[in-house]
Each structure stands twice: as C-alpha cells, then as structure tokens.
C-alpha cells in the first residue's frame, strides 16, 4: 500500500465515530458493577457485555419450586405482549445460588421451560458477587437453613446502557400493564 493511501485510511479511521459499545457507560448504569456472569452455555463474560439492547433482568434460583417459576412465566407473558418488531428485548435471570446453579442446572431450566436462547440468558455470578448484583437491582434475599431463599420477586427493565427504567413485582401470566407499556416504550 502506498503512503498516501495508508494516510487516507488512517484519517478515515480517526474520523469514524465510536460505536455505542465503545462509549463510556453512564454513571447510573448497573453495568458499572464489574461482575462476571457464567451463562447456561458455560460462557463467562462481563455483565457489561450485555450492553446494547433493552433487557429485563431478575434474580432467581433453579431449585426454587414456588416463586421463581412465576418469574420465568412473567418474562414469557411480557414477551407475548410484544409485536414481532419488538422481539429484540433480552431477558436475563441471574442466580442467587451460584453454588448449585452451574451451567448444567441453568441449561436444564432453559430446556424445560423452552426458553429462546436468542433472547433469554440464565447466568450465575461468583458467590461473593451475588449480594452486589442484588443490591444494584434492588433485590432483597436471604438464604434459609434448608437451602431455599426468601427473596424479592421483581423484573427490572434496563435501557441499552444498563440504566433502570422501570420495575415490577407483579409476577405471573398477567403482566403489569404499566410495566409492559414501559417495555414497549424502551423498544421504540
């Protein structure tokens, strides 16, 4: 390549705007929390790697027989309220029980609940980071002696940069209409 061509290419590269993923995170982004998540496929990546699209985020644990299945049902119910053009909503459920929720346990829930992995991510943080994740999402929990957890059941709507836009604690197959409206607005 001649010198003039190389100079022109270098100038073009400098002139290109940075992508949104290259821009600094907003100060109020939950993705500011430097935590690694290991998903149902066994892939470990920074939580901030989820940046780039609106997401519903909640916390759960796979051995829960009571409210956690309703959290999954709530995510599915919200998906059903969206048009085909709004299908880019990501849903992330983060385990509060990483000691038991390894990739195989997470994958089992993905398979049993027929979750579309193009949109759904089930993941676990390191055990010493669970409390930090719960804190930024406003989820309260405590481990019980029998291995179960008492916990807040909520879905939190994040914008593409990880800022909290809305929250619902209404779980089940009939989603909170105000929350669904906030999701639709975020996807516009």
Question: Whose CA is closest to 75, among 90, 62, 65, 64?
Answer: 90
Q: How many residues does the chain have?
A: 188
* β-bridge mates for residue 158, sequence order: 55, 164
Q: What does the pLDDT look like over 36-91, one tens digit per residue?
A: 999 999 999 999 999 999 999 999 999 998 899 999 999 999 999 998 777 679 99
* Overall fold of domain 23-186: Glutaredoxin (3.40.30)
- Cα–Cα distance between 160 and 89 in angstroms, integer? 10
Domain segments of the chain as ranges: 23-186
Q: Which pTM value belongs to this model? A: 0.86
- In this prediction, residue 34 carries a pLDDT of 96
Helix (H) or strand (E) holding 76: helix 67-80
Q: Is the dihedral of CA 77, 169, 178, 48 positive or negative?
A: negative
Whether the Cβ atoms of residue 56 and residue 165 lie closer than 8 Å to each other: no
For tokens 């989603």, name the residue. 175
Q: What does the pLDDT look like over 114-132, one tens digit per residue?
A: 999 999 999 999 999 999 9
Helix (H) or strand (E) holding 159: none
- Cα–Cα distance between 101 and 170 in angstroms, integer? 25
């Amino acid at each position: 390549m001649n010198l003039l061509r190389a100079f022109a290419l270098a100038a073009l590269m400098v002139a290109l705007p940075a992508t949104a993923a290259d821009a600094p995170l907003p100060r109020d982004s939950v993705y500011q929390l430097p935590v690694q998540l290991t998903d149902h496929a066994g892939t470990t990546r920074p939580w901030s790697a989820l940046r780039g699209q609106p997401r519903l985020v909640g916390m759960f644990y796979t051995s829960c027989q009571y409210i956690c299945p309703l959290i999954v049902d709530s995510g599915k119910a919200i998906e059903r309220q969206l048009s085909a053009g709004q299908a880019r909503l990501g849903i992330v459920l983060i385990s509060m029980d990483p000691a038991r929720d390894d990739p195989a346990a997470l994958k089992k829930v993905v398979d049993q609940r027929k979750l579309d992995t193009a949109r759904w991510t089930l993941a676990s943080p390191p055990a010493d980071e669970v409390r930090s994740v719960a804190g930024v999402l406003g989820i309260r929990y405590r481990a019980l002696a029998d291995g179960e957890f008492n916990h807040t059941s909520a879905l939190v709507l994040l914008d593409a940069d990880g800022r909290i836009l809305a929250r619902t604690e209404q779980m089940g197959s009939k989603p909170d209409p105000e929350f669904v409206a906030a999701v639709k607005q975020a996807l516009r």
